[in-house]
Structure 1
Amino acid sequence: MKIGIFTDCYFPTKNGISTSIVHLKEGLEQQGHQVMILTVKYPHYEKQEPTIYRFPSFPFNSMLELRVGLAAQRTLNRIVQTRQFDILHTHTEFSLGWSAKRAARTLYLPIVHTVHTMYQDYRHYLWGGKCVSPNMIQWFFTRFLAGYDAVICPSQKMQAYLSGFLPALKTVVIGNGVSQTRFSPNRLTTEERARIRGNVGLCASDKMILFVGRLAQEKRVLELLRVLASLLQQHPHYKIVFVGDGPLHQQIQSLARKHAIAQQVILTGYIPWENMYNIYALADLFVTASLSEVHPMTLIEAAMCGLPIVVRRDKSYTDIVQDDCNGCLADTDGQLAEQVAALLQDDVKRHIFSQHALSVAEKLTSEKYVERCEALYKDVIQRKILTTDTHR
C-alpha cells in the first residue's frame, strides 16, 4: 500500500503523538508499504528526508509548541495524486487534517483519522479556557469527523467520549504500542546503573519514584507533588524524578522548597527518547495523577521496562494498569499517595508487580499496533472499492 500520513505534530517536536507516528511509519515500511509523512516546517530545522514533505507553518500555541500547517489545497491535491496514495491517515484536527479530508473527497480516496487528544482537558491554553466550552468541542468534532471512513480511538476512553455524542460514528480501538527492542528490562550492567544513578542525583540507597511527561496543568504535576510531599518528608531516601519540560517547572521547584523537600525532587528537563530506557531502568515505580490522558506512551514504556505503576483510576489506563496485578488504580490523590508508600515499603510486591508488568506489555508492542492499523487500512480500502462499484 501507499499511505499518506498527515500531522501537525512531528519531529523535531517530541511527544507521544510524534512517537506513535514514527512507530507506525517504521512498522509499515518494514512490512513493505510505502509511507509518506505530510507535516509542518519548523524554524531552524533543515533536515531533508525523501519520505517527509513539510508545508509552511505558523505558531499556534507556544506553550504547547504547536504549529499549524499552511497547505494550498491545489498543491496538496497534486501531491496526493502524484504519489498515488491508496489511503490517507490524518492525525490532526487542524488545517492539514481539513485539507486532507478535502483531497480525499475530491480524489475519492479512503481516509481514516486518529483522535489523540482530549481537548476538553486542554481548554486552559485558549484564553484561559473561558471562551471554549465542552459543547463547542463536541460541535467541532461533529463537523470534522463527518465523512471519515473510520476513526481510530487509542483507548476505550476516547471511544466512549466520541460515541456519547456521535453514536453512528464508525470507531475502532487501536491502542498505542512501544518497540520492545528499545524498551526491555535488564539491559544495564551494575556499573552502568550506578553511574547513571549518580548522574541523575541518586545515592545507592535511594528509592526512585518516576514521572515522565509535560510539566503542565493538564498532567496534574503540582497535585502529584503536594500529595507525595508528606511521604518524602518522612523518608529522606525517597526521591521523585520529573522527566520532561513544561510551564510548571519553576512552580514545582517552589513547591518543593515550600515543603522542605527540594533535595528529594529532581527535574531532569527533556531527555532524548533514545536515552529514556536508562531512566526507566533506575526507577522503583512509575506514578502519575493525570486524568487527561488518552493512551499514554510513557506508561507503556514503563510497563515494558517492568515498572510497577500507580495512577488515578481512568479509562485511558484500562489495558495498561491492572489493579493489584502490575500496579494500583487510585480513586483519590490521597489513596494514590498511600499506594505509593505501601509499594515502596514492600520489595516482594514490587517484584511481583514488575513481572506482571512485563506480561501486560507483551500485548502493547508497536508491532501489534502496526498490524491492527494495517488490517484497518485494508478493510477500509476494500469497502471503498465496493462502494465505488455500487455507485457505477
Structure 2
Amino acid sequence: MNIALLTDTWHPFTNGVITHIEVLAEGLRSLGHQVLILASDPHTKHHYVDHEGVLHCPGFTLKRIYGYGIAFPFSFERLKILKAFNPDVIHIHNEFGMGTFGMLASRKLKLPMVYTLHTAYDDYLHYLAPKPFIPITKALSHGYVRLLANYSSITTGPSEKAAAYLKATKVTTPFYYIPNSVDLQRFDTNNIEPGIRQKIRHQYNIPDGHLTAIFVGRLGKEKSVETLLDLWKSSIQTNAPFCLMIVGDGPERDHLEQITMDAGIAHQIIFTGKIPYENMPQYYAAADVFVSASLTEMMSISLLEAQAMGLPVLQRLDQQSRNQVIDHVNGFVYSNAAEFEAHLKAFGQLSSLEWHDWQTRCRNHVARQGAEDLANHLLELYRQACGTK
C-alpha cells in the first residue's frame, strides 16, 4: 500500500506524536509498504521532500504552543505532490492545518481517511486562550474534532481516554484502540556501552548506591511535574539515598526549580534540560525507576521506552489508563504520597536477582509493541477503510 501520514509537529521538536509516526513509518516500510510523511515546516517557503521521505510544508509558528508549526490548510502544490504519490489512504495525526488539508485532500482525491487522536485537548486549552475564553475555545475544539472524526472512515487512539474524548464530542465514526509503540531496536539495553550508566550518574553527581527515579517529558503544567515534586517532598526524607532525574524542558522549568529550592530538596532533584533523542537510551540506563504523576497522557511513549530499557514504572492512578501499568508486573500504580513512598522504598531494597526479574518483566511487557506490531494493527484498519470509500 501507499500510505500518507500527516502531522503538524515534526523535527527539530521531539514529542509522542512524532515518535509514534516515525515508529509507524519504520514498521510500514519494513513490511514493504510505501510511506510519505507530510509535515508542517514554518521555516520553509517551498514544499520539498527530504532524504527521509518527508514532505516539508510551509506554514507558520504557534508561539503559544512551544513554537510548534502549523501548515497552511490547503496548497495546490502539496495536493499535486500527494496525488503523484498515489496514496491508498490518508492518515492524519494532528487536527489543525494538516488535519484540514487531509480532509480536503481525501475529498478531492476520493480517498479514505483515518484519524488518530493523540491528545485530549481539554487539558491543553490554557495554551490557546486566556481563562475567560476557555469555555468557548473548548466548544470550538470539540466541534472541529467532531468534524474531522465524523468525516473519517475510522478513528483510532491509544487508550480509553481517546474513546471517551471522542464520545464526549459526539463522534459517531467507529473507534479502534491501537496501543502506542516503541522503537525496540533503539531502546535496547544490549546496545548500551559498558560504563555509560556510571558515566552519566557521575556527570550529575549521583552517589553510588542511590536509587534514581526518572521522569521524561515536556515541563508544562499538564505533565503535573509540580505534583510529582510535592509527592517527593512529602514522602522522601531529605537524607534518603534517592534522587529524581527530570529530563526535558518547557515553560514551567524555572518555577519547578524554585519549588525544589524552597522545599529543601534541590540536592535530590536533577534537571537535565532537553536531551537529544538519540541519547535517551543512555539516560534511561542511568536510572532505576520511571515515575510520573501526569493524568493527561493517552499512552506515554516515554513510559514505554523506559520499560523497553528494563525500568519498572510508578504511575499515578488514572482510571482511563489503568491497564497500562499492572501492579507487580511492570510497576505499580499509586494514589497518594504514602503509596508512592512505599513503592519507591521497596524498589530501593531489592536484591540484584529481584532487580533482574523486574527488568525482564518490564521488557517482556512491551515486547509486542514494536514498529511492525503497530504497522500490522493499522494495515488491517487501512484495508478496512479502503473498503468503505
Taking structure 2 as the reference length, the TM-score comes to: 0.91
Measured at CA, do residues 196 and 50 of structure 1 come closer, stay the same or move farther in structure 2, by a change above 3 Å? closer
Cα gap change, 1:167 to 1:107, in 2 (>3 Å): closer
Tell me if structure 2 keeps the 8 A contact 1:155–1:315: no
Match of 2:66 in 1: 64
Give distance in 1, aligned partners of 2:241 and 2:375.
42
Structure 1 residue 119 corresponds to structure 2 residue 125:
no
Distance in 1 (alpha carbons) for counterparts of 2:355 and 2:168: 38
Structure 1 residue 164: Cα displacement = 3.9
**What pairs with 1:1-392 in structure 2 (closer than 5 Å)?**
1-43=1-43, 48-49=50-51, 51-133=53-135, 134-166=138-170, 168-188=172-192, 190-315=194-319, 317-347=321-351, 350-384=355-389
Whichever residue aligns with residue 386 of structure 2, its letter is: I
Give distance in 1, aligned partners of 2:266 and 2:42. Answer: 36
Structure 1 segments, 4+ long, off by >6 Å, are 44-47
Deviations 1:170-206 (A, max 9, x none): 1111111112111123544553322222123312222
Mapped to 2, the partners of 1:264 and 1:128 lie a distance apart of 35
Note the C-alpha offset of 1:163. 2.6
Q: Deviations over 1:83-133 (max 9, x none)?
A: 211111111110221121011112211110111111111111123443123
Aligned AA for 2:374? Answer: Y
**Higher relative contact order (Cα pairs below 8 Å, separated by 6+ residues):** 2
| Identical positions, percent | 30
How far off is 1:70 after superposition? 1.4
Q: Find the aligned partners of 2:207 and 2:238 in 1 and give their Cα distance.
A: 17
Paired residue secondary structure (2:81): helix
CA contact (8 A) 2:40 2:59 kept: yes
Root mean square deviation of aligned Cα: 2.3
Q: CA deviation at 1:334?
A: 4.8
With 161-170 and 9-18 compared, the bigger mean Cα shift is at: 161-170
In 2: Cα distance, 1:42 partner to 1:101 partner? 21
Q: Distance in 2 between matches of 1:218 and 1:212?
A: 13
Q: Secondary structure at the match of 1:104?
A: helix
Give how far 1:357 is off.
1.2
* 8 Å CA contact 1:218, 1:292 repeated in 2: yes
Unpaired runs of 5+ residues, structure 1, are 385-392
Q: Is the 8 A contact 1:286 1:309 kept in 2?
A: yes
Specify the code of the residue in structure 2 equivalent to 1:368: D
Letter in 1 for 2:77: T
Aligned-pair distance for 1:331? Answer: 2.4
Specify every segment of 5 or more residues in structure 2 that has no aligned partner in the other structure, as ranges: none
CA distance in 2 between counterparts of 1:89 and 1:57 reads 19
